[in-house]
Structure 1
Amino acid sequence: MVRNKLSIIMTAYNVADYISSSIDSVIAQTNRNFDLIIVDDCSTDQTQKIIRSYAQKYDWISVICHAQNFGVSTARNTGLKNADGEFITFIDGDDWVEPDYVEHFLEVFSDQDVDMVTCGFFNETESGKVKNKFTKRQISVVGREEVTKLIIKMTGTVMGYTWNKAYVRSTIEEHKLMFQTDLDLMEDQVFNVEYAAHARKFYLDNLPLYHYISRKESITNRFAMENVRDIGVARMKVYKTIRESTRNEKKQI
């Protein structure tokens, strides 16, 4: 039996139409060795009412509500500050997961000496149409250089997302890793590259266990000059981290 605990951080902002499905998919997990921290970023719809009703029913669900809207990075950081699981993963409040999502992460961490575990995902439209196809399961254990290339790659099953990955909490805390609050885009890619710079081995699995729903109102689907600026800043942070990591590795040789 797996004895490690996973803390799931779910961020939410005005997702009243979707968050019940997201939480229900967590409730349906086959492995119960986890807790759920829901961080509401000052929603103005019924999101807070819904998540509080779940917290009243389940003692393993905790709710934190921001007094004002700070953005997803701050919401994730709030979740990190309140997480006590040995491992960490993230779910967006308008997505959902397969029943063996938790089991997958905890089983691999139990069997393998690795610092990150990934899973595959379905990229779906709001009508349920899957835009990416799963063909054949592929599993590999790679080092820092290889995983960094896959994190910054704009295609594939790894990429810069946080919701298809699980992390070791002690690594995050030891190196004081946080999400960049000055970015509205690619903040997750920056976090992943910084995490990879302090980790050794990465277990990559493309088995799709996460359902990412691409919505028209999503910030990633809107184009603005601010987004162009965020992409530029994020890329600079990413390449700075890679450069410093490479320099540190050479010093250790």
Structure 2
Amino acid sequence: MPDISIIICCYNSAERLPKTIEHISKIENIESQIEIIIVDNCSTDATSKVAELELNRYSKNIDYHIVHESRPGLYNARKRGCQVANYDWLLFCDDDNWLERDYIINFLKNLNEYPHLEIFGCGISNPVFEKQPQKWFYKYQYLCAIFNIEERKKNVMISNSMEVESFVCGAGMYVRKEFINAYFSDYRFKLVDRIGEALSSGGDTDLVWFALSNNLHVGQFSNLKLQHYITANRITKKYIIRLYMGISFSFALLDYKYKSTTKKPRVFEFFYHYVNNLLHFNFLISRLIYAEFIGRYKAYRYIQTI
């Protein structure tokens, strides 16, 4: 059986870590060796102290490492975690992901059936809300990594090219270490992903598209389930708009990197849709259109400097 390094990248995670570690401690396992790696990425709270306390409480039979990464950004934190990892398969667990008890057993089953995959993604991410959101939020909850592939009448979704749609995200993602080391060694620019409270994104998609651009296989599985804890600040319109701008920026860069697509945002087209939605009192949609325009325009300007 392959052994697994669980990597949790943290920025000011002291309040979220206890539940995350508690759920990991309850995961059922058969034969694989497990280690937990906490990467403290420039936290200003007691993340490392809380991590040590909780790991000692729940994971007495599991090796763990707490390391620090001084360069901000999820990309840098993941790279640091990979450098420390001792095992051939890495499980990226966000600090707000509560993995189901069978998360390792089902991965091993999937790996046995699909041994050629480089990435195994979570197929069901159910929300646990700190505060119940308003109805409008559910239309945009996918932006917060809330999804269920069974709603697409799928239990397994496999992709091996850029032409085959893939929805694999970083929450609960298993990655072959040999593959991700090749990704880190690639000479092209990387998306550093979220830095502190900034809502840039795209690092997960960068990793997946790197695999697909090399005709490697990635998959998403409904038997890999987790709960995603959503804090109250993430169900606000302000947050969703900022997140949408960050995603728009990142995907414009990814289109350039992998598809050689560079499009300057069209001001007239933006203005038309923006005003049209304002006139129909679709204020949130108008703000999202504005956020997308700004994100793509910033990306276009950035591309000119590469």
TM norm. shorter chain > 0.5: yes
Structure 1 residues 201 and 222: CA distance shift in structure 2, 3 A: closer
What is the aligned counterpart of 1:17 among 15, 24, 31? 15
The answer on whether the counterparts of 2:7 and 2:81 sit within 8 Å (CA) in structure 1 is: yes
1:81 is displaced (CA, Å) by 1.8
Distance 1:227 1:205, change over 3 A: closer
Matched residue, 2:96: 94
Q: Deviation string for 1:130-165 (max 9, x for gaps)?
A: 976665662244432355x223xxxxxx4xx21243
CA distance in 2, matches of 1:171, 1:69: 23
Moved beyond 6 Å, runs of 4+: 128-131
Q: Give the greater-gyration-radius structure (CA).
A: 2
Give the 3-state SS of the residue equivalent to 2:42 in structure 1. coil
> Is the CA contact 2:191–2:202 (under 8 Å) kept in the aligned structure 1?
no
Name the residue aligned to 1:26.
Answer: 24
Instruction: Quote the residue 2:281 is aligned against.
Output: none
Task: Give how far 1:75 is off.
Answer: 1.4
Q: How does 1:71-220 map to 2 (within 5 A)?
A: 71-115=73-117, 116-120=119-123, 121-127=125-131, 138-145=155-162, 147=164, 149-151=165-167, 158=168, 161-176=169-184, 180-181=191-192, 184-207=200-223, 209-217=225-233
Q: 1:194-229 CA deviation, whole Å, 9 max, x = no partner?
A: 1332353333322351112222445993645x9736
Q: 1:216 to 1:143 in 2, by over 3 A?
A: same
Q: Which residue of structure 1 lines up, in the alignment, with residue 41 of structure 2?
A: 41
Instruction: Pick closer, same or farther for the CA change 1:242–1:214 going to 2, 3 Å.
Output: farther
| Residue in structure 2 matching 1:65, options 68, 79, 85 | 68
More helix by share: 2
One-letter amino acid of the counterpart of residue 31, structure 1: N
Identity of aligned residues (%): 20
Q: Residue in 2 aligned with 1:7?
A: 5
- 1:177 is displaced (CA, Å) by 5.5
1:118–1:204 Cα contact (<8 Å) kept: yes
1:91 deviation in Å?
0.9
Q: Normalised by the size of structure 1, how large is the TM-score?
A: 0.75
Equivalent AA in structure 1 for residue 239 of structure 2: N
How many residues are aligned here? Answer: 231
- Residue 69 of structure 1: how far off its partner (Å): 6.7
Are the equivalent residues in 2 in contact too, given 1:185–1:227 (CA < 8 A)? Answer: no
After superposition, the Cα gap between the structure-2 partners of 1:72 and 1:5, relative to the gap in structure 1 and judged at 3 Å, is: same
SS of the residue corresponding to residue 79 of structure 2 reads helix
**Cα distance between partner residues in 2 of 1:12 and 1:213:** 15
If asked which structure has higher relative contact order (CA below 8 Å, sep 6+), I would say 1
Aligned to 1:237: 254
1:6 and 1:106 in contact (8 A); partners too: no
Q: Could you tell me whether the CA contact under 8 Å between 1:55 and 1:63 is conserved in 2?
A: no
Quick check: 1:90–1:163 contact (8 Å CA) kept in 2? yes
Residues 89, 163 of structure 1: 8 Å contact kept: no
- The unaligned stretches of length 5 or more in structure 1 are 152-157, 245-253
CA distance in 2, matches of 1:209, 1:182: 24
